[in-house]
Amino acid sequence: MTWLCYIIAYRFFPPFPLDNSLQDKVVLITGGAKRVGAAICRLLHAHGAKLMIHYRNSDGEARALQSELNLKRPDSAAIIQGDLLNVAKLENLVHETISRFGQLDVLVNNASSYYSTELGEISEREWEDLMGSNLKAPLWLSQAAAPELRKQHGCIVNITDMHVERPKKGYIVYNIAKAGLVTLTKSLALELAPDVRVNAVAPGPVMWPEDNPQFDEVYRQRVISQTLLKRLGEPEDVARAVRFLIQDAPFITGHIIAVDGGRSLSL
């Protein structure tokens, strides 16, 4: 076969399906600059989506990701900084997304604070931070985005946690916040139907928290041993579940998908 035949064969019969299933869709994702958020951004972008990537402090990571994605497809990714605890500024995230791309089709509430809070020592600051990032901000952002999402017949995907069903000891405020996010997901599905679908993904052991000595090698091996698949998940596992709910689940709303390797069944 000549080189020209190879080119023709690749063009019309590629080794993997060419997929622009999210082409012309605009996604606003909170906490999208690194870790699981960045994996979601990369996968949705690979399927054709345009992205508004929110970050709080990760300026360097956000700019690097924006450059990476725009190198692959010019003017397809923008970034926006914001403190999700500042409710007065949350509408701006939605308005800037629409101003930049002309529409908003998907809201992914991914940003999250995560740390332990011991009963008897919980401070109001910890309460405001954990409830604000994990529950309050998703509600206010969803409320701000609702008119545009109704117009576009779009969807919302929230990132919850497997520990909603089995609370993690020592993380009482975080547990409460994520449990609230599950109820928010179902409540929004009721409120925004039939125009907007609202679902959530509940990750299990996918990435270890950064700079936390509690998650030492002994702890990690114990968690993996409790996982039915006997391995750690990947950020891409969560990203694929998010993409499924956006693109391939037109008759699913108010549902929580566990991406935990079966660990929630063994606790």
Residues whose CB is less than 8 angstroms from the CB of residue 173 and which lie 6 or more positions away in sequence, other chains included: 117, 122, 126, 127, 130, 131
| 55 catalytic per annotation | no
Helix-helix angle 90-101:137-152, to 10 degrees? 30
What span, in angstroms and rounded, lies between the C-alpha atoms of 210 and 185? 27
Longest Cα–Cα distance in the chain: 75
What span, in angstroms and rounded, lies between the C-alpha atoms of 180 and 134? 8
- Which amino acid is residue 139, in one-letter code? L
Laid out side by side, the sheet with 256-259 consists of 77-81, 50-55, 26-29, 106-109, 155-159, 197-203, 256-259
Active-site residue identified among 6, 55, 114, 174: 174
Distances in whole angstroms, Cα of residue 56 to Cα of each of 75, 89, 92: 22, 12, 14
Residue 215's CB is within 10 A of a number of other CB atoms, namely 14
Helix (H) or strand (E) holding 100: helix 90-101
Which is nearest to 174 in space by CA: 134, 234, 125?
Answer: 134
Give catalytic residue positions.
174
